[in-house]
Amino acid sequence: MFTRWYAALRLAETGSATGAATDAGTGSEAASGAATGAGTASVTGAGTGSEAESEAEAAYRDAATRLPGSGMPGLADGLLPLALLCLRVRYGLPPRPGDPAGFGPYEPWARPLVLLAEGRREAAAAALREVPDPPRDLLLEALWCLTARAALALGDRPVMERAYAALRPAEAELAGAGSGLLTVGPVARHLDDLAVALRRP
């Protein structure tokens, strides 16, 4: 199961899943492979626009078919919607409107972006002000990057400051890749955008 998720991650970041089935591994091995294979990719570096995004989405959907019966309901809950949201953010595409509740435990960090996609700016701004710090796990940076994108879209400086401070230690990493499941692309790109908005040197 994890091999398919890692292959989808690799496809999202590099435009190629070649070798993923044999070098994916689990845990830190998968994270290391992703960082090595895609650490220098730019936001447009994984193929050509919508084609690459569509291929990665199909790979994620295929990987998600292995989740039922995996014996890990805590992992399965909301994972596919989160991966697809991260994929669209990674490619600079707007999130698709949808029910934030479908994100399960990741709903607080997805809600502002989903509400923005529905044109509900006031509701999105209110949701963003209530966003807690993400759990300190392997999706920490990915969830902070989602928060950063919503803060940038809404011009919420206090939240931008929080996200900037939280992401600085992970500047050289791919957001979320340590999970071996998904990525929002290079943390450095999100930090650069925050720095511009915050007028940081």
Number of domains the chain contains: 1
Domain enclosing residue 170, as ranges: 2-198
Q: Which residues of 129-167 are buried (b: 16+ CB within 10 A; e: fewer)?
A: eebeebeeebbbbbbbbbbbbbbbbbebeebbebbbebb
* pLDDT, tens digit (0-9, with 9 covering 90-100), for 134-170: 999 999 999 999 999 999 999 999 999 999 999 999 9
Is the pTM above the cut of 0.95?
no
* pLDDT (0 to 100) of residue 167: 98
Calculate mean pLDDT across residues 75-98: 90
At 74 the pLDDT is 61
Handedness of CA 51, 52, 54, 55 (dihedral sign): positive
Mean pLDDT along residues 123-140: 97
pLDDT at res. 73: 59
The predicted model gives 76-86 an average pLDDT of 93
Confidence of residue 69 (pLDDT cuts 50, 70, 90): low
Q: What is the tens place of the pLDDT at every residue in 10-56?
A: 999 987 665 443 343 333 333 444 433 333 333 333 344 578 899 99
pLDDT digit string (tens) for 170-201?
999 999 999 999 999 999 999 999 999 999 97
Residue type, 8: A
